[in-house]
């Protein structure tokens, strides 16, 4: 099989393994004595809502908010679209409606929360004293800073009226079952959409430390609020969350294992190097490039033909004016490190179909990619310095475009090494 085609089949298998139609039905709770309210936020939330509707015989109603373009038609659950990754007015209004929907419930009621990656931006309900403009500015600064997703979410939780367990607390005394599709390294529920229904062990002081670490100066009123602890989140042991549980229904590792099955069926040994790899994208690309060279040239610690798989979420410190994003930045750095080494191919992409700010999932790398770029008068190193991975691979015709995948289990990276 052509290596590029095999890599794309593996990527498609990883996405398919995390589809809500597959992973939601086995985890649905029993119907309650009282009402069933469905709420949710994230890129997969609309598809999760449809999967729930299709497998729920009793009455229910609710509202979920998803990214523009990710709507899935539902009959009983309202779907609202909003902006991502920088929050907008539509997300704010949806968040306010969700909060109103869960107030005044009883212990006989059930809240099913459908939470997936992207929910932090989509569930845009600022804390009292914080404006949507404040959140937009800080979100944009954090996205360019190189902060990890855990660090960004720490700040978001402490500037929100719903994240960091606050939404779960509003639901009390009703039972809350949060069904989670993980898009974060480590699969910690507090970092999936900034943990709206789970307790938060981090503090306002931690949020201030993140901002200081990346030299981000918040407005004076936000600094004062964080310094005073006035916007502290809901902590472990809070009785309002006593009847709240979180269930992981899809994870990055499960998707990597699905991709590994495709590789093995095609005759390649498949090695999963980790599902939670973080770091600056170009630096991680260098490390993986050096490792792949060693495998290709020395046949250790793995012998070709083989595929090296990994997931996680790298970061990009934006210094140039290119189009991003983190997956293609990793791939371009990987390609420069490999230097056109024969027999080594790679595909990297975001399983939600969006890498950075572009509706492009990622790209493919082949041994001739650098040579083809130079023939087009494109300098690969200059493209990397300008944070323009999308521009680079699009010019080669090697972008990977999936459209809305209706799920999100973070980044997918596969390096295929042919037998020498």
Question: What confidence tens digit (pLDDT) does each residue in 61-98 have?
Answer: 999 999 999 999 999 999 999 999 889 999 999 999 99
**pLDDT over 90 (residue 54):** yes
Q: How much is the average pLDDT of 303-322?
A: 95
Predicted pLDDT of residue 120:
92
Rounded to whole angstroms, how far apart are CA atoms 222 and 148? 21
Q: What is the largest CA-CA distance in the chain?
A: 68
Average pLDDT, the chain: 96
Predicted pLDDT of residue 143:
87
Predicted pLDDT of residue 324:
84
Rounded to whole angstroms, how far apart are CA atoms 102 and 161? 14
**pLDDT over 90 (residue 60):** yes
Which value, in Å, is the radius of gyration of the alpha carbons in the chain? 22
Predicted pLDDT of residue 91:
96
Name 114's bridge partners.
40, 179
User: Please, which pLDDT band fits residue 313 given cuts at 50, 70 and 90?
Assistant: very high
The SS3 assignment for 312 reads strand
Q: How much is the average pLDDT of 392-410?
A: 96
Q: Which helix (H) or strand (E) holds 142?
A: helix 132-145
Structure token digits, residue 92: 């704010």
**Are 415 and 334 within 8 A, CB to CB?**
yes
Rounded to whole angstroms, how far apart are CA atoms 183 and 195? 12
Phi, psi of 400 (to 5 degrees): -110, 115
Q: pLDDT digit string (tens) for 4-48? A: 999 999 999 999 999 999 999 999 999 999 999 999 999 999 999
Please give the model's pTM, rounded to 2 decimal places.
0.93
User: Please, which pLDDT band fits residue 249 given cuts at 50, 70 and 90?
Assistant: very high
**pLDDT over 80 (residue 420):** no
Rounded to whole angstroms, how far apart are CA atoms 273 and 349? 16
Q: pLDDT digit string (tens) for 209-231? A: 999 999 999 999 999 999 999 99
Q: How much is the average pLDDT of 284-293?
A: 98
Q: Which helix (H) or strand (E) holds 325?
A: none
Predicted pLDDT of residue 334:
98
Structure token digits, residue 93: 């209004």
Q: pLDDT digit string (tens) for 134-158? A: 999 998 899 889 899 899 999 999 9
User: Please, which pLDDT band fits residue 371 given cuts at 50, 70 and 90?
Assistant: very high
Predicted pLDDT of residue 59:
95
**Are 233 and 157 within 8 A, CB to CB?**
yes
Predicted pLDDT of residue 306:
98
Q: pLDDT digit string (tens) for 122-140? A: 999 999 999 999 999 998 8
């Amino acid at each position: 099989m052509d290596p590029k085609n095999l890599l794309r089949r593996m990527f498609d298998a990883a996405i398919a393994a995390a589809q809500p139609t597959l992973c939601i039905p086995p985890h649905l709770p029993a119907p309650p004595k009282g009402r069933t309210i469905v709420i949710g936020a994230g890129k997969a939330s609309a598809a999760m809502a449809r999967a729930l509707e299709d497998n729920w015989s009793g009455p229910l109603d609710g509202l979920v908010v998803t990214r523009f373009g990710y709507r899935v038609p539902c009959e009983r659950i309202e779907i609202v679209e909003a902006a991502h990754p920088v929050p907008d007015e539509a997300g704010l209004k949806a968040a306010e409606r969700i909060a109103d929907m869960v107030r005044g419930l009883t212990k006989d009621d059930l809240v099913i929360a459908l939470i997936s990656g992207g929910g932090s931006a989509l569930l845009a309900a600022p804390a009292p004293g914080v404006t949507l403009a404040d959140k937009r500015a800080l979100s944009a600064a954090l996205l360019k800073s190189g902060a990890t997703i855990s660090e960004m979410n720490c700040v978001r939780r402490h500037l929100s009226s719903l994240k960091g367990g606050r939404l779960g607390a509003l639901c009390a005394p009703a039972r809350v079952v949060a069904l989670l599709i993980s898009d974060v390294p480590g699969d910690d529920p507090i970092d999936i959409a900034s943990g709206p229904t789970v307790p938060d062990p981090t503090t306002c002081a931690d949020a201030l430390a993140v901002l200081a670490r990346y030299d981000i100066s918040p407005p004076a009123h936000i600094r004062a609020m964080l310094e005073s602890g006035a916007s502290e989140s809901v902590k472990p042991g809070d009785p309002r969350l006593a009847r709240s549980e979180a269930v992981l229904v899809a994870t990055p590792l499960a998707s990597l294992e699905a991709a590994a099955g495709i590789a093995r069926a095609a005759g390649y040994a498949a090695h999963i190097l980790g599902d939670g790899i973080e770091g600056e994208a170009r630096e991680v690309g260098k490390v993986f490039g050096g490792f792949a060279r060693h495998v290709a040239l020395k046949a250790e610690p793995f012998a070709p033909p083989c595929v090296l798989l990994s997931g996680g979420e790298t970061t990009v410190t934006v210094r140039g004016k290119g189009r991003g994003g983190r997956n293609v930045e990793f791939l371009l750095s990987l390609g420069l490190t490999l230097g056109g080494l024969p027999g080594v191919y790679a595909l990297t992409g975001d399983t939600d179909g969006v890498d950075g700010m572009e509706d492009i999932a990622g790209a493919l790398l082949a041994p001739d990619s650098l040579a083809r770029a130079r023939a087009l008068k494109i300098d690969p190193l200059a493209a990397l310095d300008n944070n323009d991975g999308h521009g680079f691979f699009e010019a080669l015709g090697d972008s990977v475009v999936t459209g809305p995948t209706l799920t999100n289990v973070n980044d997918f990276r596969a390096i295929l090494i042919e037998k020498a």
